[in-house]
Structures are given as C-alpha cells and as structure tokens.
Structure 1
Amino acid sequence: MQSIRISLLLAAALSAAPASAKKASDHAEPLHAAYALLDKGDYAHAYPAFLRQSGKNPLAQFMLGLFHQIGWGRPVDQDAACAWFAKAARGKIPTAQHYSATCLMRTPDVPGNAGAALAEYLAAAEGGHKISLCSAAEFYIRGRYVARDVVRGLNLCGQAAMANSPPAMLLLAKYLQNDPDVPRDLAGARHWYQLAAGHNVPEARYQLAIMQSQGDGGPVDSSAALGNMEALAAAGYAAAYLPTAVLYAHQPPQADTGAPSAEHLAKAYLWASAAKASLADPAPAEKLLASVLALMPAEWRPGLDRKVADHLAKFAAPRATGASPGA
C-alpha cells in the first residue's frame, strides 16, 4: 500500500501541461533513490536524500513539504511544510502551487496573501492541477477578496469538471444542489453526481442514489437508487446502510400476498442492523428494525445476524455521523 501511495503522490506532483512534462520528468530523475527509500517507509534516510537535492530541485522541495505536512517520521509542522511548498511553487510544480496557495489562505487578511493565493491557484490549474480551478472559484462564489461573480466561479469549477476531474464534478454538483450562494439547479447537480459516480466517487454515488430515490433533478428511479446505495453499503460506506434498508423496506409488496418478499425483508433487516451498529444515533435504525421484526420469522435472525457481524468485522466501521464512509 505504501508504494501505491507514493506513486500517486508523485503523479499528482508532476501534474503538468504537455509542454512542461519533460521538465517535470527531469526533476524526478535525480530523486529515484530518495523515492525508493520513501517507498519502503525509511523516513529517516529518505528525508536527507530529498534534502540533498533540494537546492535547485523544486520536486524535492515539494516532497520535503509533504514530510512536514503529513508527518512522515517527524511531528506535523504546517509552517515548515508551507515554507517548502512556497519554494517548490516558484519552480512551477503545479501541486506545490496549489498547496502554497492554501498556505497563503491560512492568513488571508495579511495584505497581498489572498490575491497571491488566487494567482497561485490559477497557475496550478494552468500547469495541469485542474481541481485548483474550484479553489479559485470559491473566491468569486463567496465574493471574498474579489467582486462576487457566481457565474464566473461556477464556470471555473466547471472547466475542471469538464476536464474530467472527478473531485471537481463532485464539488460542482454540491454547488448546484444546495449551496446558499448559488442558484439551485437540481438537474445540473444530478448530472454531475452521475458523472462523478461513474468515476467511483462514493459520495457522488450516495448523493445520486438519494436524488434518484426522491426524484430530485429528474425522474424517480428506485431500481437505480437501490443498486447504487446497496453497492456502497456492501463496500462498507456506513452512511448507506440505513438508506439501503429503507429502500428495501419500501419495495412493492408481492401481488399475491400483499406482504414484502422474503428477500426484501431479509435485506431490510440486514442493513438496518448494520446501521444500528454503526450510526452515532441508532434510533431511526431501531425503529425500522421493529417494523421489520413484526413481519420477519424469528428463525431467520441468527443467520442474518452472523452476516451482519461478518460484514462489520470486515470493514471495522466506526460509528458514522451520517455522511462518511466506513473504514
């Protein structure tokens, strides 16, 4: 898992327009030994290996910033991290430019900081770090440090979304769904959640399922809502447990008996039980369980309870607040 994480960080750091890709690759070439140490979790030797290259190598400077930001082998030190990110940003490392802008916004009221941060976000996006456009969008949508221009802000974040950035798709959907500073556009929100869900963004899939089940921004699609929600629940996304149980509990009854099918009843019990064990407030799950148990044969419970226990043990899900995934 460590090597995968480091590879992703390197790819993010080297996000760049094609014209600057060769230069970015040249920065990475002298750092192979340092990355190998970091890949092994040998922080004590990796840090000085990057430090030795940091005089003229902005990618080494960026990595040193990550050491301090994340706390690899040392206490977290945001001030030290920001100092390294600022150096790397001057070397046109796009992710460093983004982080440097975020550092400036720690103290946005210092004269010049907000303007410099906006410029850094836009430069990072120009270099290939497209999600930085959504950070720039915040300035215009909120009207902080610049004249308020919601359309311009949405267009900026929309550029990132249309550049195939799943995080930007998610942010744009949130803006359009229920942001107090943005005109509500449920159809637009549903569209962007749909696209982000196609990139396996769990929160987007969750919000899309809610909209599908309620008919927000488009027609009710109970089948798609249930499919999306149960897939999330099966993957340990704890916020999806109770909605999945509710969707099963509200499936149409059998035509011949007028009662829920055995499968729907069992699934409602399974996911309501998982919700009861996982949510900070178990009361809604307990209420649903009571209605299910009034119909479900008692002899089903031991086998179903074992399935719930196995699922929860697999994901070791902490109690959720209602919108976060299981571990």
Structure 2
Amino acid sequence: MKKITYSLFLISALFGANVWAQYSAETDVATLQQAAEQGDAEAQFYLGVSYDNKQDYANALHWYNLAARQEMPAAQFNLGYMYELGQGVEQSYHTAVKFYKSAAEQHLPQAQYQLAHMYMEGKGLRQDVNIAMTWLENAAEAGYPAAQYDLAMHYYKGLNFKQDYAKALQWFNKAGEQNYARAQFSLGLMYQTGTGVQQSDAKALDWYGKAAAQNYAPAQLNLGALYEQGKGVKVDLPKAKKLYGDACDNGDQRGCDYYKDLNQKGI
C-alpha cells in the first residue's frame, strides 16, 4: 500500500487530464500555497503531498484535511493511510476506516482495496469477509492490479470462493497485463505446472521473464531453473547462473545456493 503522490497516471485517472494541466509535480510551492489558501481542493491536496514528501506530517495533515472536507478522494485516502500507520498522528484504525470508506464510496480503487483489507482483518470495525470481498471485487473491476491479484489468489486457493482456476487465470492475466510482477509470476507458475491451463514451458518462460525484469526474486529463481534444465528454451547455464545471482541479490537464499552450486561447477 502506498500513498497517492505526484503520479501522472494516478492524477489523470483520479481527476482527469485537466487537473494535471493545472497543477503538476513541478508547480512551485508558492503557487500551490496561494491556490490552496483560496480553497482550491486540488492545490490543497498537492500541497499536502509536497509536505508529506518532506515528512512534514503536521502540514501534510492540515492540507489533506482541508481537501478531504471538499470530498477529494485522494486526500481522504492519504489521511486514512496516515491514521492506519500512525504517521504524524495517533494511530486510529477507526479513523482510517472512516477516510478509506469516504474515498471508496467515491470509487477510488486504492481506497476500495484498502477498505477490503480492513474488513478482512477486522481493523477498526467488525470483521466481515463478505463485505471485504465486495470491496475487493469493486477495486479489481475498476482495474486496480493489486486487487486483481488478490482476487485471483482467492480463486486460486479457494479462499472465500469455490476454487476456480479459470477465474484465477482471468484475474492474474488482468493484473499481469498491467505489469504486476506477482501476477506475472503466478501466471508463469500456472503454465509451468499446468494448473488450470495446458502446460507450457514457453508461456511460463515468457511470464517469468516479465516478472524477473522487475527484479521479482521468485520469478528470477524459476526462470533460472528453466534455463538450467532447458525447459521451453535451450540450456543456458551462464544465463541460469546470472538469474540465480539476481534472485540472490534480491533476497532469495535459494538463488544464492544455486548460484554457488553452478559456480563450483565452473559455470
């Protein structure tokens, strides 16, 4: 989970391209301050982000609150984040839920996703798996890749749904096509093992490759194994060794072990 910051994609999606044309990451603080003091909600939000990035949480909280009172969902979400983590404020799951819900009801997928987790874990409210899944589905349908991945995992493992590999594949694909590394890895695993799909080392290689390019260690490890074993590709031990080394560098001890093994064999 991340706060909403100066992302062109996010801002355009949330407020429309016209807002980005009005304010951008390069807008100077003085200009933002003037507009914010005149009650411009977008400027208040951007000014809050500016202070947030400097870890000046008191001022960030002030401007987020002003924007949130004008029903700006991104500001409400960031306030929820601050209260959930106790960042610059006393931690309060109850208050976090209030802000997440306000933003979620305005169809902000990040807030819908986080609200789903609050319901799932019973943080700040009574645990309710059914409501959690409804919000998770809403976020996934809105195109939020983290929600699509989580929904896919529920279908894949049969959690709160009947196990359904076809639906798992559908949602993994949606997230994977948005370059979500964990979903790409899961697609690679489904194709490598033939789980719910026709087994295909070539497709596994493709999906693992996409996730590995994002430094996702489990994908680097499995891709290395395919190159070492010549599955879906010609045997390439130097390539396998490099991938194992990459996985090791990204914190996977197995990658370290496999790299060492190939190194001792003179690869």
**What is the aligned partner in structure 2 of residue 305 from structure 1?**
none
Task: State the 1:219 CA deviation.
Answer: 4.5
Q: Report Cα offsets for 1:220-270 as digits up to 9, x if no partner.
A: 32121112223454x464623332211111236xxxxxxxxxxxxxxxxxx
**What is the aligned partner in structure 1 of residue 186 from structure 2?**
171
Whichever residue aligns with residue 164 of structure 2, its letter is: D
**What is the aligned partner in structure 1 of residue 86 from structure 2?**
71
**What is the aligned partner in structure 2 of residue 30 from structure 1?**
44
Classify the secondary structure of the residue corresponding to 2:210.
helix
Question: Is 2:196 aligned against 1:158?
Answer: no
Task: State the 1:218 CA deviation.
Answer: 4.9
**What is the aligned partner in structure 2 of residue 194 from structure 1?**
209
Give 2:146's match in structure 1, choosing from 131, 134, 140.
131
> RMSD of aligned C-alpha atoms?
3.7
Task: State the 1:161 CA deviation.
Answer: 1.0
**What is the aligned partner in structure 2 of residue 82 from structure 1?**
97
Q: Report Cα offsets for 1:80-119 as digits up to 9, x if no partner.
A: 3333212211112121111112222225xx9994343333
Classify the secondary structure of the residue corresponding to 2:68.
coil
TM-score after normalising by structure 2? 0.73
Question: Is 2:91 aligned against 1:57?
Answer: no
Question: Is 2:7 aligned against 1:11?
Answer: yes
Asked if the contact 2:218/2:252 (under 8 Å) is kept, the reply is: no
TM-score after normalising by structure 1? 0.61
**What is the aligned partner in structure 2 of residue 324 from structure 1?**
none
Query: Structure 1 residues 30, 73: CA separation in 2 closer, same or farther (over 3 Å shift)?
Result: closer
**Share of identical aligned residues, percent?**
22
**What is the aligned partner in structure 2 of residue 221 from structure 1?**
236
Tell me the number of residue pairs that the alignment of Structure 1 and Structure 2 aligns. Answer: 243
Query: Structure 1 residues 191, 134: CA separation in 2 closer, same or farther (over 3 Å shift)?
Result: same
Task: State the 1:37 CA deviation.
Answer: 1.1
Whichever residue aligns with residue 130 of structure 1, its letter is: P
Query: Structure 1 residues 149, 232: CA separation in 2 closer, same or farther (over 3 Å shift)?
Result: closer
Query: Structure 1 residues 238, 140: CA separation in 2 closer, same or farther (over 3 Å shift)?
Result: closer
2: CA distance, partners of 1:206 / 1:31 = 41
Instruction: Say which one has the larger Rg.
Output: 1
1: CA distance, partners of 2:79 / 2:183 = 27
Unaligned runs of 5+ in 1: 253-327
Classify the secondary structure of the residue corresponding to 2:121.
coil
Question: Is 2:244 aligned against 1:248?
Answer: no
Whichever residue aligns with residue 21 of structure 1, its letter is: G
